[in-house]
Chain A
């Protein structure tokens, strides 16, 4: 089952509006929260308090810039491995030690571990994969680099929650 459960108490209408707003770009001005709070029709201080609460609840993971790796001279790829189910957690934790691993999921299929790598160059990607491959519990490992991006737009509708 997924590890974290939905928050028990329902989100208030205001919190949903805040989350909707924060999924868009923050303003590149000295006081971005003042701009956002004006849109939400609340006080800047109150918005900061709500964001702090939503972060504490783990609903907001972070507020940060998301770059297109390829456009700032980084290489990204998707890697999948076939691992004996009883060792998968152990192997996944070892893979996670590489800071270049950004996402890592168990998926119950032929390839049962899927992770993304973002590194400064192809050599580093290959080096990490060849090191990971040495683990005897990994039966097969394959790389699926993207050749074309059709869409990247992560936005969760919050209505009806």
Chain B
């Protein structure tokens, strides 16, 4: 169970932190708590896996990864656990989820792939499709990014 303080901390540190030598001191002042308490809570969130990562988010296009492909496959329920693990094992795959299907949309295994070239992404999807033995798939490249922000908790 998260306290009011936890909620305030989570809301604050989910946004860009100040770029100063002692960022946690600044943040703890804003929260009206001691820095020690804040650092302890951070370690607690990390140990409990609530906090996935505390790091820099990069603009992938600006570092050369211009292509962002969402590849989706239609996999039987029986095989999806194994297929998901195989897809996830590829370093170029940043996200891999099983998702519910919808009427007229039979894809249930989703992955995000970032590549420097379009053909790199397509080649990888072909390779993965061979490994998981599924040719019922689509590759959806993003053609415009309308929004990409931190979550507001």
Binding between chains A and B: yes
Q: Which residues of A contact B (CB under 8 A)?
A: 1-7, 11, 19, 22-26, 28-34, 44, 48, 51-52, 55, 57-69, 71-74, 78, 80, 89, 92-93, 95-96, 99-109, 111, 113-115, 118, 142-158, 161
A92: contacting residue among B43, B56, B146, B153, CB under 8 A: B146
Interface of B is mostly: mixed
A150 to B141, CA, bound (A): 21
B: interface residue count bin: 35 or more
Contact between chains at A29 and B51 (CB < 8 Å): no
CB within 8 Å: A-B pair count: 251
B148: contacting residue among A102, A114, A152, CB under 8 A: A102
Contact between chains at B43 and A96 (CB < 8 Å): no
Contact between chains at B97 and A148 (CB < 8 Å): yes
Name A158's closest neighbour in chain B (CB-CB). Answer: B63
A107 to B67, CA, bound (A): 12
Contact between chains at A61 and B17 (CB < 8 Å): no
Contacts of B146 in A (CB 8 A): 89, 92-93, 95-96, 104-106, 113, 115
